[in-house]
């Protein structure tokens, strides 16, 4: 567990850790190892290696290869260098709510990081994860819509019927020009310059779902 807190070790071993009964119960694959406080591991030892504020009673170790394989989805949240694992996990949970997939560029947080897993609330086991390339359209997916803080077409006024890729960038850096050349869209706000990226992703997926009531 200490090693798997490090992204490099997760990639090297092909394993990740789910802390807590809720995440373990949500798993759709059998664990490589299951640690239960007071049964096969001392509670104090489990607490010492846990990252949670309140030590979990159950910890499962799983294979990264057992996460959902890439598959077609009518809507995709394409994330460009979203480095905050909490935001990433929240958007995976949102994608799950609307039957969408998530595409990740290089430089994104690791979806198997403990904070991302906790924010996903188990949705990591149901949402397909794809690769996001700024230069190429994803094969088999709809047109790209680039979400920008301001200046784009009003999101609710765009025709989002059918398949769509909703692109969001890191809050400070934004999206590269290669993505923004497609179609800019913004969410009007009052009192703030821009929304948190996870909130913007949720609103964009809600608008897509509103225009595609039978998509799921």
Q: How many Cα atoms are found within 13 Å in the side-chain-facing hemisphere of 155?
A: 26
Answer yes or no: is pLDDT of 181 > 80. Answer: no
Class at the top of the CATH hierarchy for domain 3-66: alpha beta
According to CATH, where is 3.30.1330.30 located in the chain?
A: 3-66
Helix (H, G, I), strand (E, B) or coil at 105: coil
* Structure tokens belonging to residue 181: 């050349």
Q: In three state form, how does the secondary structure of 77-94 look?
A: EEEECCCCHHHHHHHHHH
Look at residue 139 in the predicted model and tell me its pLDDT: 52
How distant, in Å, are the alpha carbons of 33, 67, 105, 150, 170 from that of 18? 11, 12, 24, 38, 26
Average pLDDT over the chain reads 90
Two tokens at 216?
């799921």
Q: The domain at 75-211 falls in which architecture?
A: 3-Layer(aba) Sandwich (3.40)
Q: 94-136: per-residue pLDDT in tens?
A: 999 999 999 999 999 999 999 999 999 999 999 999 999 877 6
pLDDT > 60? residue 138:
no
Q: Hey, what are 190's tokens?
A: 């009052």
Domain with CATH 3.40.1280.10 in the chain: 75-211
Q: How far is CA 32 from the centre of its chain?
A: 23
Nearest alpha carbon to residue 187 among 171, 201, 177: 201
Across the range 6-31, mean pLDDT stands at 96
Model confidence, pTM: 0.92
For residues 13-19, average pLDDT: 96
* Residue 160 and residue 129 in contact, taking contact as beta carbons nearer than 8 Å: no
């Amino acid at each position: 567990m200490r090693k798997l807190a490090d992204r490099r070790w997760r990639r090297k071993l092909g394993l990740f850790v789910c802390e807590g009964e809720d995440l373990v119960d949500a798993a759709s694959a059998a664990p490589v190892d299951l640690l239960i406080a007071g049964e096969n591991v001392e509670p104090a030892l489990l607490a010492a290696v846990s990252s949670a504020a309140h030590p979990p009673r159950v910890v499962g170790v799983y294979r990264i290869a057992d996460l959902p394989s890439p598959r077609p989805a009518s809507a995709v949240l394409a994330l460009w260098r979203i480095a905050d694992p909490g935001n990433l996990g929240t958007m995976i949970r949102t994608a799950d709510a609307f039957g969408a997939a998530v595409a990740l560029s290089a430089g994104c947080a690791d979806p198997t990081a403990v904070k991302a897993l906790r924010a996903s609330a188990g949705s990591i086991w149901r949402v397909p994860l794809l690769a996001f390339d700024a230069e190429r359209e994803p094969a088999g997916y709809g047109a790209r819509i680039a979400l920008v803080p301001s200046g784009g077409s009003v999101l609710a006024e765009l025709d989002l019927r059918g398949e769509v890729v909703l692109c969001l960038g890191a809050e400070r850096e934004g999206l590269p020009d290669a993505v923004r050349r497609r179609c800019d869209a913004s969410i009007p706000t009052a009192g703030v310059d821009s929304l948190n990226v996870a909130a913007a992703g949720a609103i964009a997926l809600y608008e897509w779902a509103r225009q595609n009531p039978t998509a799921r």
